[in-house]
């Protein structure tokens, strides 16, 4: 399927910055360099500095390094690798089960008890992949935030941290109104009925979204509109999120 002009691929670091800006602003992940990160993303400055900032994201960067290694891609900031982690693509289908388990053990072994690691590890042969939804739905509920921050009720945090998708129904000067389905818990986690909510898409009167229009689908992270999704990206995000949601429901 050919992608629209809105899908013109930005460099990997710029794409990553769109997804990491909001939790970084909230001081949940990454270094204290939020203004630097945003300005480089807004003006699409793909330089050494933005790579240094992103390499300090303690949760995301190891996953992205791992995806690149498994796919024999030298640059972990390659846009394909970045997209695979945040949204999903075919790079996730080339991950070794044994190496992914090793990765989880190496990076979370000091924080998790052996039974927790086994619980997470059991999902890998069942098809878990190094996608952001796996970390949010599987690793976070069992291990907690890497910085030990109390993020409040688990389901509320999952709803905020999970990359979700919403359809733009209204645009104002500093907010988007989107139609979306939140995660709810009814014997298991599931997506509930459609709702509308307002989310941010501007910071310092600048946006990271090019040519935004009503009817566009956007990705959402911590109530921030990260990017305009193509049909392919939307389908991949839905596919991998639902896949990991089903796996997480075995133990949630």
Domain boundary among 143, 173, 195: 143
- Phi and psi at 119, nearest 5°, equal -60, -45
The vertex-142 CA angle with 243 and 235, nearest 5°, equals 20
What pLDDT digit, counting tens, does each position of 12-63 carry? Answer: 999 999 999 999 999 999 999 999 999 999 999 999 999 999 999 998 999 9
Domain tally, the chain? 2
Q: Which domain holds residue 90?
A: 5-143
**What is the number of other CB atoms lying within 10 angstroms of the CB of residue 181?**
14
Residues 27 and 90 in one domain: yes
Residues 56 and 87 in one domain: yes
Q: Report the residue count for the chain.
A: 252
Spatial neighbors of 61 by CB under 8 A, at least 6 apart, are 54, 55, 76
Q: Is the pLDDT of residue 6 over 80?
A: no
Mean of all residue pLDDT scores within the chain: 91
Sign of the C-alpha dihedral computed for residues 199, 31, 159 and 232 taken in this order: positive
Q: Is the pLDDT of residue 3 over 90?
A: no
Residues 39 and 109 in one domain: yes
**Residue 163 CA: distances (Å) to CA of 10, 180, 220, 252:** 19, 12, 5, 19
Residue 18 covered by a domain: yes
Residue 247 covered by a domain: no
The vertex-8 CA angle with 4 and 9, nearest 5°, equals 135
Residue 8 is predicted with a pLDDT of 53
Residues 80 and 173 in one domain: no
Residues 112 and 196 in one domain: no
């Amino acid at each position: 399927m050919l992608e629209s002009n809105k899908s013109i691929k930005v460099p990997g670091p710029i794409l990553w910055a769109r997804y990491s800006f909001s939790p970084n602003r909230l001081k949940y992940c990454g270094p204290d360099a939020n203004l630097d990160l945003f300005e480089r993303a807004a003006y699409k400055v793909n330089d050494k500095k933005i790579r240094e900032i992103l390499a300090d994201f303690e949760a995301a960067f190891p996953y992205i390094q791992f995806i690149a290694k498994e796919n024999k891609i030298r640059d972990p900031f390659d846009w394909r690798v970045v997209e695979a982690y945040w949204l999903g693509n075919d790079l996730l289908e080339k991950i070794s089960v044994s190496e992914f388990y090793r990765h989880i053990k190496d990076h979370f072994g000091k924080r998790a008890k052996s039974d927790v690691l086994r619980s997470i590890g059991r999902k890998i042969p069942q098809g878990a992949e190094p996608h952001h939804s796996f970390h949010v739905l599987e690793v976070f509920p069992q291990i907690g935030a890497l910085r030990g921050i109390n993020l409040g009720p688990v389901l509320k945090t999952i709803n905020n941290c999970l990359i979700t998708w919403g359809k733009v129904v209204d645009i104002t000067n500093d907010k988007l109104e989107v139609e979306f389905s939140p995660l709810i818990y009814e014997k298991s986690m599931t997506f509930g009925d459609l709702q509308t909510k307002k989310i941010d898409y501007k910071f310092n009167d600048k946006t990271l979204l090019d040519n935004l229009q009503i009817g566009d689908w956007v990705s959402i992270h911590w109530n921030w509109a990260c990017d305009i999704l193509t049909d392919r990206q939307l389908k991949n995000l839905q596919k991998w999120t639902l896949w990991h949601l089903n796996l997480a429901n075995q133990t949630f």
